Structure formats: structure tokens, C-alpha cells
Amino acid sequence: MKKLSNGSWDIQELEGDNGRLMSYDNVEPFSEVTINGMPFDTVRDPKFFLTEAYGADYMTPKLREVPDMPAALVSKQKLLEVVKMMKKKKIP
């Protein structure tokens, strides 16, 4: 994060509407947020920053992709076999 001569801030991690730039009035004066009881310094308008960086739905969790697994590891048939063995107490 670097302040430019025109007063704007160049924020390397940001990919917002203005690219990496944020205007002075969205950054300064700096503010503080508390997460799990720990205080952190942040930009003046953290909601604006988060919306610019991640979109208006930044508070909505995104579904994660389940990695492909070999069918033998997760097949329904294998699971049923294990359950039967447990019922017969062949598996501790």
C-alpha cells in the first residue's frame, strides 16, 4: 500500500473499479476493526474496500469445490460393506 503524489492510494492487492487505486477519503484517516477480540488497523471505510475487492456479496460464503476422489474410496457399496462389518463387530 503506497500513497501517491496526487493523494490516492495504490493498493497492490486491490482489483476494484479503479484498478488498484483508492481515493484518499476512503483510506484516511485510518480506522480500527476488532476481530475475535483483537484490534487491527485498517482503511477509513473497510466496507467500501471489501466491496471493491470482493464484490457486494463479500459476506456471503462461497461454495467450495469438492476434489475428485477415486470411486473406490467413496463408493456407496464400500460404505455399506463397512457398516455391515461394524454391525457384525468385525471392525472395532
pTM over 0.85: no
Could you give the C-alpha distances from 27 to 4, 46, 49, in angstroms and in order?
Answer: 12, 8, 9
Strand, helix or coil at 61?
Answer: coil
Give pLDDT tens digits for 38-80.
999 999 998 988 888 888 999 998 887 766 666 656 677 777 8
Q: Is the pLDDT of residue 19 over 80?
A: no
- In the block, cell 500500500 appears at 1
